[in-house]
Chains A and B, each alone.
Chain A
């Protein structure tokens, strides 16, 4: 189905691109948000990315998945956006190893919307590279090579970011859960 729409767009049917947007917007949204951390910035990044994808569709060679190609554009646009912000971010310390089983049990006890809230809050506080790689690996279920293709990072760097990102995510979830309990009591 996706290939049909791609061919239609390449043959000049602009409206077929709408179907591709609707098929991929949620995943691309997650990728953009993991980098820029703000919904309105993510919307702008996504709009620019889809327009770029539309204008450069002739350069898509069907050698990789369309989503991989699209996500590469999204990541580049998102990184351009955060580089423009020029905020000085202090260097992130390596996270400590929290007790993961305890945190997993605590999360499992939460309602769906609360799980989403804590996960979103934690991802927002993580460095862009780590939240991006976690999103691509655990949400988009990309392989290491696909993540390499999307981000341009080496496979070794992706592995390091995944390890560090997991530890930091659990650490942040623990901090957020503890803070939430303290405000209740």
Chain B
């Protein structure tokens, strides 16, 4: 106890608290806690694995897009009488926008579950 701190000693109160200390009334608390920790870890592992797959498919998608751009640039194919070369720029714009959004979401998800 702290005599030097001018706190009243009050041994009676000290005894009252110690002799009537509350005990955890839920005997399975530790079991439930460890189960919850394990469940959270399993869920995190699943999410991490899904994220990894997402990145793989994202990169495949970007590479496919680059390959398609190179192919379309030299192509003479027409769609509804419009040459593929003319359609390339708007398609690139839309695809870039989508890829940037997906990239941002993947990075955010990676930070959240790291």
A interface residues, Cβ below 8 angstroms from B: 14-15, 17-18, 21-22, 25-26, 29-30, 33, 39, 43, 46-47, 50-51, 54, 104, 107, 112, 115-116, 119-120, 134-135, 137-139, 141, 143-144, 159, 162-163, 166, 169
| B side interface size, CB within 8 A | 31
A contact face: mostly helix, strand, loop, or mixed: helix
Rounded to whole Å, the gap between the CB of B4 and the closest CB of chain A is: 10
Instruction: Tell me the number of A-to-B contacts counted with CB atoms below 8 Å.
Output: 85
| Contact A33-B22, Cβ < 8 Å, known A25-B29, A46-B29 | yes
Starting from the known contacts A14-B38, A17-B37, 4 additional A-B residue pairs (CB-CB under 8 Å) come to A21-B33, A29-B23, A50-B33, A119-B16
Per a CB cutoff under 8 Å, which of A43, A143, A159, A166 touches B13?
A166
B90 proximal to A (CB < 8 A) = no
**Residues of B at under 8 Å CB distance from A?**
1-2, 5-8, 10, 12-14, 16-26, 29-30, 32-34, 36-38, 40-41
Contact partner, B37, options A14, A22, A25, A138, Cβ 8 Å:
A14
Residues in A neighbouring B19, C-beta threshold 8 A: 112, 115
**Are A115 and B33 in touch, CB under 8 angstroms?**
no
Contact (A43, B29) CB under 8 Å given A14-B38, A29-B23, A138-B14: yes
- Say whether A47 contacts B32, CB under 8 Å: yes
Within the assembled complex, what's the spacing in Å between the Cα atoms of A138 and B19?
11
CA distance A134 to B36 in the complex (A): 32
